[in-house]
Amino acid sequence: MSMQREESLTTTGEVITNYTINFGPQHPAAHGVLRMVMELDGEVIERIDPHVGLLHRGTEKLIEQKTYLQALPYFDRLDYCSPLAMEHTYVLAIEKLLNLEVPIRAQYLRVLFAELTRICNHMLNMGAHILDVGAFTPNLWIMDLREDCLNFFERASGARMHSAYFRPGGVHQDVPEKLLVDIGDWLDNRFFQLFEDAMSLVMDNRIFKQRNVDIAVVSRDDAIAWGFSGPMIRAAGLPWDLRKSQPYDVYDRMEFDIPVGTNSDCYDRFMVRVKEVYESAKIIRQCLRDMPTGPIASSDSKVVPPKRGEMKQSMEALIHHFKLYTEGFHVPAGEVYVATESPKGEFGVYLVSDGTNKPYRCKIRPTAFSHLQAMDFMSKGHMLPDATAILGAIDVVFGECDR
Amino acid sequence: MTVLHSAPKFASNEGVIDAISETISVWLIEATEAHGEVIFRVQRDAVARVLQILRDDHAYQQLMEIAGVDYPSRPERFEVVYMLQSLTKNHRVMVKCSASEDTPVPTATTLWPNAGWLEREVFDMYGVTFAGNPDLRRILTDYGFEGHPFRKDFPMTGYTELRYSEEEKRVVYEPVVLAQEMRTFDFLSPWEGADYVLPGDEKAPPAPPAGEAKK
């Protein structure tokens, strides 16, 4: 497109200049509090300057004032659409510094709930994406499935969203047997029927395709250079998935495929997520099938607090409980960067410890930062309504982007 | 040390330090491997050059993150840490350099376009400047914010607070007033090397030196 002119002449000799509009920060399609200053030529986007930080809460600064365990719930509040995936990275970073072994059942439980979180996240994102480009019904249907996932989280941890379920050394509590049975039943009897019904309305829908195919095409090289990850890089045709290439917990025991796109447009990003949901279901089934019995947290009592029953019997357990919930555990000095495959892409935690009970520095790598930064070049030359489709396909959540 | 944890496992670190140190030896200050992470500390002025060598000759194609860290006791108090990832070798390394408020770090925006926002964030939070970054504005803090909030000497409460004023019908900024003092607890055990006098101990006479204890 060749629309670089600042002014264009009309047939009658009047001069039309580009104009600038504010998209957000209060806009239903902004997926939270995003303000984009858009320069438009008519209805064609010339330039976008995204202003982020409207939800900046200083999480990283707050974490420096808290013990390692007290800092954990902040991670639920980063990407509030996939809270357990955020916790996962953080506990793995602590365990890496401590070099702490996690029992196998706890690893299975974490993978199970991380994948359930992925489904939960994709339900919200795909629903919102579909809604942004004008379809209403599928969102209502798949939001119902998200509700089911949240109910499962509630049964495991007591909280629907801010679970604080993963802990350094394992998980907080074991799950009831009935919950695992119910998750299996849900996959067999409910999930796919509803999901496939909803997807059948959009996948081959003419309007949906017109709004998404060939929108925001990003080449492979650009995707790498801009630091893309997750579905954004996979849609560009790169089979890059940290669960596969840099496995953590029991992902190396799981059998699953990495869906990739061919065209690297918004439609491919959407379809990658659709296929990922099937792969996540596959992983959940394997977890349910292979999960052994056994302890759900490390036996290192200097890190993992004792059970309540134990505290009533053993003086040592009582002392450990008191120490862990006041002083917390000490983490050896050092620094690690741990990145996992969150539903939105690579979510990383750079943790610097100075040997005390509080992190010296905890830098959080949000997935949305590099994706949103590419918004300008992805939208150039597209129409104004396409911006919402591009934003929907990025899958951005501001709790995580702004921290 | 045997690896017991289940954090992400990327390709082996074996030989990486040697292979990379050889090509960047001129600017290298220190190369370390600890907790399974390979870290290169390099001279500040050469950081862009080093990153380019790592990208072009060692196939670290992606810049995932730039982190700032504040160590107030050091002569150059800030550290800028670059996390690189290789998609082809399935490996990660970190490159870091030190900086102070008035020593700009060469920008990485010429190498990776996504460095722009990452550098803006470090600038916003710590006040480290990046020479050559074309758009070094604040990014996360409020419009018109002053100071660099993630510095260790910046109070956690900040200096201003805002509220909606019913009289003026708009949001007003005011200096922070704390109803009670910020509570910070010292949980470090005194017998694990605290370097202060415990409350009450100042009344006791100083302990005699160990040698003269029994006479």
- How sure is the predictor about B208, in pLDDT bands with cuts at 50, 70 and 90? low
Nearest CB to B5; choose among A58, A95, A245: A95
Check residue A2 and give its pLDDT: 39
- The answer, yes or no, to whether residue A13 has pLDDT greater than 90, is no
Chain A residues whose CB is inside 8 A of the B83 CB are: 337, 348, 350, 365
Query: Chain A neighbours among B 80-109 (CB < 8 Å)?
Result: 81, 83, 87, 90, 92, 94
Q: Is the pLDDT of residue A208 over 80?
A: yes
Which among A96, A248, A365 is the nearest to B64, CB-wise? A365
Residues of chain B neighbouring A346 (CB-CB closer than 8 A): 64
Q: What is the pLDDT of residues A225-263, one digit of tens each?
A: 998 998 999 999 889 999 989 999 899 898 999 999 998
Q: How does pLDDT run across A137-174, given as a tens digit for each residue?
A: 888 899 999 999 999 999 998 888 898 899 998 899 88
Alpha-carbon torsion angle A125, A126, A132, A135, nearest 10:
-150
A63 touches chain B (CB under 8 A): no
The answer to whether residue A216 scores a pLDDT higher than 60 is: yes
**Residue B13 Cα distances to A267, B31, B64, angstroms:** 38, 12, 19
Torsion angle in degrees (nearest 10) through CA of A60, A62, A67, A71: -70
A25 preceded by a cis bond (ω within 30 of 0): yes
Cβ B114–A357 below 8 Å, yes or no?
no
User: Looking at the partner chain, which of B8, B62, B142 has a beta carbon nearest the beta carbon of A224?
Assistant: B62
> In the predicted model, is pLDDT for residue A6 greater than 60?
no
Does the pLDDT at position A352 exceed 90?
Answer: yes
CB-CB under 8 Å, A363 with B67: yes
Contact at CB, B35 and A356, closer than 8 angstroms = no
Rg of chain B (C-alpha set) = 24
- What is B22-44 written as a DSSP string? HHHTTTEEEEEEETTEEEEEE-G
Q: Which SS3 state, helix, strand or coil, does residue A322 take?
A: helix
Average pLDDT over residues A69-81: 90
pLDDT confidence tier of residue A277, bands split at 50, 70 and 90: very high
| ipTM for the assembly | 0.84
Give yes or no for residue A30 having a pLDDT over 80: no
Handedness of CA B1, B2, B6, B8 (dihedral sign): positive
Closest-CA distance, B32 to chain A, in angstroms, reads: 11
pLDDT score of B84 more than 80: yes
pLDDT tens readout for residues B151-163: 988 888 888 888 9
For the full predicted model, state whether its pTM sits above 0.80: yes
Asked if B139's CB is within 8 angstroms of A246's CB, the reply is no
Residue A55 has pLDDT above 70, yes or no: yes
